[in-house]
Amino acid sequence: MSSGRTPCTVAVSGLNNIDSPGPGMPVIRALRESSNLEVRIVGLSYDSLEPGLYMHDLVDKSYQIPLPSAGTEALLERLKYIQSIEQIDVLIPNFDAELHNFIRIAPLLRDSLRIKTFLPDLADFDARHKAVLFEYGQQHGVLVPKSHTVFTLMEFHRALEANTYPVVVKGKYYDAQIAYSADEAVSAFYKISAKWGLPVLLQEHVRGTEVNVTVLGDGTGSCIGAVPMRKLYITDKGKAWAGVSIEDEALMQLSRTLIESARWKGPCELEFMRSEEGEYYLMEMNPRFPAWVYLACGCGQNHPEALVQMAMGYHPEPMTRYRVGHMFIRYSQDLIVPMEEFEKISTLGEL
Amino acid sequence: MPLKTYERPYLRKLNAGLGNKFGTRNSQVPVTEIDGVPVAKLMEEYGSPCFVLSEQTIRQTYRNAVRAFSTRYPKVQMAWSYKTNYLNAVCRIFHDEGSWAEVVSIFEYRKALANGVPGTQILFNGPDKSEDDLRTAVQHGSLIHIDHLDEVYLLSEILASEGLKARVALRINMDTGVYPLWDRFGFNYENGSAWTAVTKVMAQPRMELVGLHCHIGTYMLSAQAYAVASHKLCDLADEIRKQYQRRIEYLDLGGGFASGNTLKGSYLQGSDVIPTMDDYAEAITSTILQHPFAMSGEIPTLYLESGRALIDDAGYLLGSVLALKRLGDGRRATIMDFGVNLLFTSFWYEHRISPAQEYSSHHEDMVLYGPLCMNIDVVRENVSLPLLKRGDRVVVHRVGAYNMTQWMQFIQMRPNVVLIDRQGQVHLIRRRETVDTLNEMELTPLHLELGQGKPA
Amino acid sequence: MPEVLSALFAMNPMKISQNIAISENGFLFNPATGDSFSTNACGKEIIRLLQEGQSQAQILEALQREFEVDQASLEKDLADFLYMLGNYRLLDANAQ
Ligand SMILES: Cc1ncc(COP(=O)(O)O)c(C=O)c1O
């Protein structure tokens, strides 16, 4: 290669670059800007309308893959077919719902298809789950608002007694409502359990400012990169519209400590609340790149590149510096696509 | 020119946001054989529908479970949970592998005896043990797992009148962090009922408290819950040791290990989310081995009453398509010759269903109905299958647990059940019922006998 | 009679929108509505015959000459397919 960059093929999912975007396209853009890697990108999609499928300057070839609900057997079967055409070196899954399955088949992918991933194991993946995040925080020295997992109204009432208002009532997967009285809390319990089922989480409310960090751990206790961001504006769907990289040494220290103590492997997004007293509470830990990960790249830390390097067995230097005060602002634009392309991906599953 | 192979015309709207067809390939892969025996042949000989059990799979699954536990723990004893599948042939395979019997009724108890299980190797569980039942169990020297205080008193009277002693265990229920809490069986740990029961039993001169039992639920997705349960049983055993200088001989952790079936409402496939037998074994054995109780003397024997996880995979239901329909809203409906009468578990599982013959790659979403004239007779609310037609055969997977005991004789009679042995020989192990099976049980009052003239 | 049913029972040839395009892969696009569909070989053949203006009886006959299938199954399947065409608004509403 004249560029001196290492050629490699990277498969990326989460090509749904819509108004509440998946992380796939930002990850691909970062990889395309790598100074060390010369990437061919294989897109993995679940739906024929994922915009990334049609962005041919960023994605070289795309394949449909079975929904996570179809199971790992079907997924492996499909990847085996894809790998018979491609030579995928590294695969980066980006959807919450697919992570469990990819983690589960990671050893098989490595051994039988020679596809590398860089993911936490199932125990680590489960340990930072919403319902057990409090214990996780205790273990690694990070504050987490106390929460109760409740299955019945009676338990909910009991849990309410132990709380001061306001409280946050959270659904199993999504949704959260702040309640200022027992009546409000109970009505939120009904609403949320009707929509998302049981259990429901009752959580201590932390007033403050939300700050997020995108982090990459090497799995042996080193934090390879971390960039903090504060959302400047959110869309009506609650997604970031714009955000800015900030300088906050305490937050960085905390994030690094967590990643080091947990020996976290792979990317993750840490969602913190900085309370009015200046304390940081970990609200959620998403075990994948956030959709705003391209900001990290723009600030001088190319996390997707480092992840691919680690997956391939290299040891990139930890990145500690980043540019403060750089913003991302999301925009959308309309791709013009001939029907034939949609036909191809819909009927043949490849494009 | 030879005629082309026919596949009925098909039209599917390509909806955005509904995923893609490249995900359902494995529901297309036909299953034409079970343990080397052609499905078509089985159905020709034994009819449709028909249950099939694989002896090979039963033994393999059992041995894997035994391996998982006994490589981690020195004293392990399995007790086959009769209610899960009490066909004698099935029970005998488990007994042949070394399993004792776990029963919850006198009828199961008698089956176990008849299957050659010594009385001393029967664990008698459950809330329903009559005076006669207890007497029988006492006479055979079985292990009686006490469910409630009334049973303590009843048993005590029986022992006095018989002049016998009994080896007993207490069923304990507890909070293991898993919902729902099965607190209706046995004595609650957290509220002190368990300890009260201990003191009551310890005061009975004819009862020897040798074991502690729990069964924390079924299809448990968390191995951690067993660690909690093991810990609490050990705590209780340790307390008994300290207060009474009596050593509990065994801890029975019950059953509840999940099979690879997918629960309704679960987004991921069951086989992708359930813990392995090794996960359960690790949670239980490491907890017990590290507990002060186990370190304070002879370690307790570990009893297990796993049902579902040991037999589900070995069972198949073969059936065929009766008819195809369109519902009012345009959805495809397929009517099968088996329904909830035979597949009780379809109330909570999304059973995997494979076609038993080749198809093209086209497939359609459909509702799968059973043959009953009953609206709730739904086998799958939404399943993607190839373009089936009347008479086509299908194989339902993982039906070995609870179906051949909870099936109901409603509208249809129960079908044949066959066992494929390790040499690939097929054995009929339960004959299909006929109208005579039913009529045999019935009595007709004289005035309703045919040929007796009109009743007065 | 509802449109779908009248289409189903009409003895006169059913009209399928002429501008409907089917590709090699059985991808069907209705430019009038923007809907797209997937069909198989037999479905493709029926649509082609409909576009040629053939009647149900003629289509039945043609298919029987082409495929190995008994009359009863074919009749049933054809009726179902036509119903689906109607259901998806692929038949010309003004045909009758
Ligand atoms: C006391 C007892 N033991 C064992 C079992 C077997 O349970 P599983 O099939 O979930 O392993 C049951 C089932 O209900 C039970 O009640």
Judgement on whether residues B261 and B328 belong to the same structural domain of the protein: no
Supply the CATH number for residue B41's domain: 2.40.37.10
The answer to whether position A251 is within a domain reads no
Question: Is the N-terminal amide bond of A199 cis, ω within 30° of 0?
Answer: yes
Distance B76 CA to ligand 1 centre (A): 17
The span from the CA of B299 to the CA of B289, in Å, is 8
Report yes or no: B30 and B354 within 8 Å, Cβ to Cβ: yes
For the cut 50, the answer to whether the pLDDT of residue C50 exceeds it is: yes
pLDDT value, residue B241: 96
Of C37, C66, C74, the CB nearest to B11: C37
The answer to whether position A303 is within a domain reads no
The answer to whether position B407 is within a domain reads yes
Residue numbers in B near C68 (CB within 8 A)? 3-6
Report yes or no: A165 and A204 within 8 Å, Cβ to Cβ: no
- A243 versus C92: the higher-pLDDT residue is A243
Distance B146 CA to ligand 1 centre (A): 15
For the cut 80, the answer to whether the pLDDT of residue B456 exceeds it is: no
Q: What percent of chain B is predicted at pLDDT more than 90?
A: 85
Domain extent for B206: 125-306
Count CB-CB contacts under 10 A for residue A265: 22
Atom of ligand 1 nearest to the CA of B255: 11
pLDDT value, residue C2: 47
B297 is written with which tokens?
Answer: 């003397």
The number of folded domains in chain A is 2
* Arithmetic mean of pLDDT, B36-42: 97
Residue numbers in A near B179 (CB within 8 A)? 151, 198-199
Return the residue in C38, C45, C48 with the most chain B beta carbons within 10 A, the one to mutate for interface testing: C38
Alpha carbon A137 to its chain's center: 19
Judgement on whether residues B266 and B295 belong to the same structural domain of the protein: yes
Q: What type of residue sits at position A326? A: H
Q: What type of residue sits at position B53? A: L
Task: Measure CA of the first residue to CA of the last residue in chain C; give whole Å.
Answer: 12
3-state SS class at B48: coil
Q: What type of residue sits at position A48? A: S
Judgement on whether residues B353 and B413 belong to the same structural domain of the protein: yes
**Mean pLDDT lowest among A134-138, B26-30, B178-182, B309-313:** B26-30
Rounded to the nearest 10 degrees, the angle between the axes of helix B149-162 and helix B193-202 is 10
Atom of ligand 1 nearest to the CA of B306: 11
* Residue recorded with tokens 């085996």: A80
The answer to whether position B113 is within a domain reads no
Radius of gyration of chain A (CA): 21
Q: What type of residue sits at position B69? A: F
Ligand 1 neighbourhood includes B230 CB (under 6 angstroms): no
Report yes or no: B119 and B101 within 8 Å, Cβ to Cβ: no
The span from the CA of B442 to the CA of B428, in Å, is 26
β pairing state of A208-218 and A223-234: antiparallel
Window 22-61 of C: residues touching A by CB (8 A cutoff) are 23, 25-27, 29, 36, 38
Atom of ligand 1 nearest to the CA of B125: 1
For the cut 70, the answer to whether the pLDDT of residue B33 exceeds it is: yes
**Mean pLDDT lowest among A113-127, A148-162, B20-34, B345-359:** B20-34
Q: Do C40 and B14 touch (CB under 8 A)?
A: no
Q: Do A70 and B24 touch (CB under 8 A)?
A: yes
By C-alpha distance, which of B140, B135, B152 is closest to B112? B140
Residue numbers in C near A347 (CB within 8 A)? 23, 25-27, 38
The span from the CA of A44 to the CA of A64, in Å, is 6
CA separation (Å) from B349 to B266, B343, B368, B396? 9, 10, 13, 12
Q: Do C36 and B14 touch (CB under 8 A)?
A: yes
Atom of ligand 1 nearest to the CA of B256: 10
For A151, name the nearest residue in chain B, comparing CA atoms only. B179
pLDDT tens by residue, chain A, 351 residues? 456 899 999 999 999 988 888 999 999 999 999 999 999 999 999 998 999 999 999 999 999 999 898 899 999 999 999 999 999 999 999 998 899 999 999 999 999 999 999 999 999 999 998 888 999 999 999 999 988 888 888 888 888 888 888 999 988 777 888 999 989 999 999 998 888 777 888 988 888 999 999 999 999 999 999 999 999 998 887 788 899 999 999 999 999 999 999 999 999 999 999 998 899 999 999 999 999 999 999 999 999 999 999 999 999 999 999 999 999 999 888 999 998 899 888 888 899
Using an 8 Å CB-CB cutoff, list residues of chain C that contact chain B: 28, 35-43, 45-46, 66-69, 73-74, 77-78, 80-81, 83-85, 87-88
3-state SS class at C69: coil
What is the per-residue burial (b if ≥16 Cβ within 10 Å, else e) of B301-327? bbbbbbbbbbbbbbbbbbbbbbebeee
Rounded to the nearest 10 degrees, the angle between the axes of helix B55-70 and helix B277-290 is 30
Return the residue in C44, C70, C74, C80 with the most chain B beta carbons within 10 A, the one to mutate for interface testing: C80
By C-alpha distance, which of A231, A167, A228, A249 is closest to A202? A167
The span from the CA of B247 to the CA of A71, in Å, is 47
Residue numbers in C near B7 (CB within 8 A)? 40-42
Sequence ranges of the domains in chain C: 3-87
Q: Do A49 and B20 touch (CB under 8 A)?
A: no
The span from the CA of B375 to the CA of B340, in Å, is 11
**Mean pLDDT lowest among A52-61, A236-245, B384-393, C71-80:** A236-245
At residue C95 the predicted structure's pLDDT band, cuts being 50, 70 and 90, is very low
Ligand 1 neighbourhood includes B257 CB (under 6 angstroms): yes
Judgement on whether residues A75 and A21 belong to the same structural domain of the protein: yes
H or E element in which residue C64 lies: helix C56-66
Supply the CATH number for residue A166's domain: 3.30.1490.20
pLDDT value, residue C15: 79
Distance B192 CA to ligand 1 centre (A): 24
At B275-330, the pLDDT tens digits run 999 999 999 999 999 999 999 999 999 999 999 999 999 999 999 999 999 998 88
At residue B17 the predicted structure's pLDDT band, cuts being 50, 70 and 90, is low
pLDDT value, residue B3: 84
Ligand 1 neighbourhood includes B305 CB (under 6 angstroms): yes
The span from the CA of B254 to the CA of B230, in Å, is 11
pLDDT value, residue C96: 40
> What backbone torsions phi and psi does residue B267 show, to the nearest 5 degrees?
-75, -40
Judgement on whether residues A11 and A99 belong to the same structural domain of the protein: yes
pLDDT value, residue B16: 60
Return the residue in C69, C82, C83 with the most chain B beta carbons within 10 A, the one to mutate for interface testing: C69
DSSP 8-state symbol, B66: H
Residue with CA at minimum distance from ligand 1 atom 10: B256
pLDDT value, residue A3: 63
The answer to whether position B3 is within a domain reads no
Judgement on whether residues A11 and A83 belong to the same structural domain of the protein: yes
Judgement on whether residues A33 and A97 belong to the same structural domain of the protein: yes
HSE value, Cβ hemisphere, 13 Å, CA-based, for A182 = 10
Judgement on whether residues B354 and B301 belong to the same structural domain of the protein: no
Ligand 1 neighbourhood includes B256 CB (under 6 angstroms): yes
Supply the CATH number for residue B197's domain: 3.20.20.10
Ligand 1 neighbourhood includes B259 CB (under 6 angstroms): no
The span from the CA of B6 to the CA of A57, in Å, is 43
> Of A180, A204, A228, which residue is a domain's last?
A204
The span from the CA of A213 to the CA of A251, in Å, is 9
Distance B257 CA to ligand 1 centre (A): 9
> What backbone torsions phi and psi does residue A43 show, to the nearest 5 degrees?
-85, 140
The span from the CA of B19 to the CA of B15, in Å, is 8
pLDDT value, residue B211: 98
Give all chains having 3 or more CB-to-CB distances under 8 Å with chain C.
A, B
CA separation (Å) from B445 to A219, B46, B239? 79, 36, 61
CA separation (Å) from C29 to A337, C40, C41, C87? 15, 14, 16, 15
A301 is written with which tokens?
Answer: 């830390």
Q: What percent of chain B is predicted at pLDDT more than 70?
A: 96
Judgement on whether residues B275 and B343 belong to the same structural domain of the protein: no
The answer to whether position B96 is within a domain reads no
Distance B255 CA to ligand 1 centre (A): 5
* Arithmetic mean of pLDDT, B259-266: 91
Question: Is the N-terminal amide bond of B455 cis, ω within 30° of 0?
Answer: no
Q: What type of residue sits at position B201? A: V
Domain extent for A197: 146-204
Supply the CATH number for residue A46's domain: 3.40.50.20
Judgement on whether residues B295 and B320 belong to the same structural domain of the protein: no
The span from the CA of B53 to the CA of B68, in Å, is 23
Atom of ligand 1 nearest to the CA of B220: 10
Distance B147 CA to ligand 1 centre (A): 14
Measure the CA angle with vertex B435, ends B432 and B437; round to 5°.
65
The answer to whether position B7 is within a domain reads no
Residue numbers in B near C36 (CB within 8 A)? 13-14
Q: Do B10 and C83 touch (CB under 8 A)?
A: no
A125-139, B428-442, C60-74 — most confident range: B428-442
H or E element in which residue B394 lies: strand B393-396
Judgement on whether residues B423 and B324 belong to the same structural domain of the protein: yes
For the cut 90, the answer to whether the pLDDT of residue C12 exceeds it is: no
Q: E strands along B193-281, which residues?
A: 207-213, 250-252
- Taking CB atoms and an 8 Å cut-off, how many pairs form between chains A and C? 17
The number of folded domains in chain B is 2
Return the residue in B6, B360, B361 with the most chain C beta carbons within 10 A, the one to mutate for interface testing: B6
Judgement on whether residues B320 and B298 belong to the same structural domain of the protein: no
The answer to whether position B421 is within a domain reads yes
Average pLDDT, chain B: 93
Q: What type of residue sits at position A349? A: G
Question: pTM of the full predicted structure?
Answer: 0.89
The answer to whether position A75 is within a domain reads yes
pLDDT value, residue A236: 81
At B57-107, the pLDDT tens digits run 999 999 999 999 999 999 999 999 999 999 999 999 999 999 999 999 999
Please tell me the total number of residues recorded for chain A in this structure.
351
Q: What type of residue sits at position A262? A: A
* Residue recorded with tokens 């995928």: A88
Judgement on whether residues A79 and A152 belong to the same structural domain of the protein: no
Judgement on whether residues B132 and B247 belong to the same structural domain of the protein: yes
